[in-house]
Every structure is written in structure tokens, then in C-alpha cells.
Amino acid sequence: MNMNTVSKITAILMLVTSLALTSCSKEEEMGCWPPLDVPGDSANVIMIFNATTNGQPLELLKNFKDPLGRTMQVELLKFYVSNVFVSFNGASTLLKKAALVILVDPNVTDTTKKHNEIALKIPYGNYDRITFSVGLDVVQNAGDPTKYPSAHPLSINQNTYWDAWGKYKFFMIEGKGDWDGDGTLTNIYGYHTGFDECYRSISFEKMLTLDATNSNETLNVNFEVNDVFFGKDTLDMKLHPSWHGDINTIETAFIISDNFQEGLRLN
């Protein structure tokens, strides 16, 4: 088998996967909030995303200190989680194509829904790994947001779409800070990562045994907000107070995407 055939096969495989990923099933039309149906008996697993500021639960507009001792607040924090898989010995099962996780958003008034939770149905069995991505894959990112029903996570109504760039925003964080230490939160920051280049996948080792006696599980995925700016790389928020899709300065979006990816913890 020469190189050419290999790449052809890869291309076909990729096409098939992406087709499988895009094929809008009934439950996708319903808004994708219900978990994907899986054959046979399955367990209900809830993935909960929790953010902290210096160990305390993140709250809308609550002051906290960054590692430089400056006061800051978060006014909006939401991101896409997509392509959630569980696997055992390398064989994976797709559980969720895309969900929008909202941790802080003053415009979300519907408190009946837990916007930081993703409900999953996992077939009974043993698993050793859970994998998911932050952002949307190439196919989802190329979709037309006006074609989804309004409650769908990819709908234009989620306000996660850059009309100008024709792409989705993957991770959005906005707020205010006091960079000059004068006691007033007059510095504004806002970062919306996006473009296929900011898609990040995370995989955790996780032993799961799901059966009739253990059919409800909760997976907590935690992260510290400060780690988003002060992680593997540090973002100078005073110098670069925002990023909204300018390809020339995409470095800023990379720092946030990488730091967030590294900062996620499963327990």
C-alpha cells in the first residue's frame, strides 16, 4: 500500500466520520440537549463544569484577586464542549456532539436549566477513558447557525457566532479589572477564542463501571479562572485586553485555549 492510498483511505475515513458527526438526527433537531440515544441499557452520567476563583466558586461580578494581586471580575464565561467520548481499550463511543456550557451570563435568566451540566447516556460496560473537546470541530464550525432551531447549542440565538468571520466563538470570557490598582474596576477585558486552530481536545483516564447497580454517575470537571490567564503561558491582560477574531494577533487566543485545556481537572 503506497502513501497515496493511505492518504486516500484517511481522507475517506475522515469524510465518513464528519458525515456521521453532521447527520442531523431527530434529537439534534430537538436542540441536542437530550443525550444521544445509545442502544441497549445505559447509565445516566452528568458532566458538571465548575469554575473557581482562588478556590471559591466563581460568581457573576464577584471581586477576586489575580496572581499579581489585582482585583478583577467575570461578567461572562461560556464555552463549547463537543465530541464527548468514553472508551475502553481504545474503542470509543460518541456520547455528545456539541453542548454549550454557560457558567456566568447575566442574560441567562432561565434558572430551571443547569447550564453548566451536560447529560450523557453511556451504555452499560467498563470504560477507562473520557475524552472531549473545547470548541467545535471543523465540520460543526463550518455550519450555518441560522439553520438550527433557536434552542440548539449551535443556533445563532446563542450569540456565539462571529458573523464577520463566519465561524463560531469557542470560549468566551469577559469582565472588568483594576490593572492600575486605583480601586476602581475600569479596565475591561473580553476574549472570544475561535477558528479551527483553537479547537482543543482533552482526555482523562477514568475507570467507569456502569451497570444496573451503578447507573448514575457524576463527573466533575473543574478549573481555576486565574489559570486561564496565568497558566503555561501568561497573558498580559493590560497590554492585550481583548481578542475577537483578528487573525494577526491569534497568539492571544492560543494562550487562552492552551491554558484552559491544561487547567481542566476531572474528579
Partner 1 sequence: MRNILILLSFMFILLSCSKEEKEDLPKDPIILPPYNPTYVDLNDRLPSYLPRMDIPADNKTTIEGIELGRALFYEPLLSGDGTQSCGSCHNQSYGFTDNGKKFSTGIDQVEGNRNSMQIINAGLRTSFFWDGRAATLEDQAFGPVTNPIEMHEKWPRAVAKINDISTYREMGYKAFGVVQLDSVLISKAIAQFERSIISGNSKYDRWKKGEYQMTPQEDYGRKLFNKDRDEIRDSLGNVIQVIPGADCFHCHGDLSDFTDNLFHNNGMDEIFTDPGREKVTGNAYDRGKFKVPTLRNIEHTAPYMHDGRFKTLDEVIDHYSDGLVHSATIDPLMKNVDIGGVRLSLSEKAALKAFLLTLSDPDFLDNPDYSEPPPL
Q: Which residues bind partner 1 (CB under 8 A)?
A: 60-61, 75-76, 106-107, 109, 145-146, 149-150, 155-157, 159, 161-164, 174-176, 185-190, 238-239, 241-242, 244-246, 248-249
* Alpha-carbon torsion (90, 93, 95, 96), positive or negative: positive
Cell numbers linked to 100: 454549550
Cell numbers linked to 250: 491569534
Q: Which of residues 90 and 106 has its CB atom nearest to partner 1 in the complex?
A: 106
* Smallest separation, CB 236 to partner 1 (Å): 9
Q: Which of residues 97 and 152 has its CB atom nearest to partner 1 in the complex?
A: 152
* Smallest separation, CB 126 to partner 1 (Å): 43
Q: Which of residues 159 and 214 has its CB atom nearest to partner 1 in the complex?
A: 159
- Contact between 84 and 118 (Cβ < 8 Å): yes
Return the residue matching grid coordinates 473537546: 133
Q: Which residues contact 169 (CB under 8 A, 6 or more apart)?
A: 160, 161, 162, 192, 193, 194, 245
Q: Which of residues 180 and 211 has its CB atom nearest to partner 1 in the complex?
A: 180
* Smallest separation, CB 11 to partner 1 (Å): 31
* Smallest separation, CB 128 to partner 1 (Å): 41
Q: Which of residues 36 and 185 has its CB atom nearest to partner 1 in the complex?
A: 185
- Residue 146 half-sphere exposure toward CB, CA atoms < 13 A: 3
Which residue, 48, 45, 64, is CA-closest to 56? 64
* Smallest separation, CB 105 to partner 1 (Å): 9
- Residue 49 half-sphere exposure toward CB, CA atoms < 13 A: 23
Phi, psi of 37 (to 5 degrees): -75, 135
* Smallest separation, CB 106 to partner 1 (Å): 6
- Contact between 245 and 194 (Cβ < 8 Å): yes
Q: Which of residues 7 and 249 has its CB atom nearest to partner 1 in the complex?
A: 249
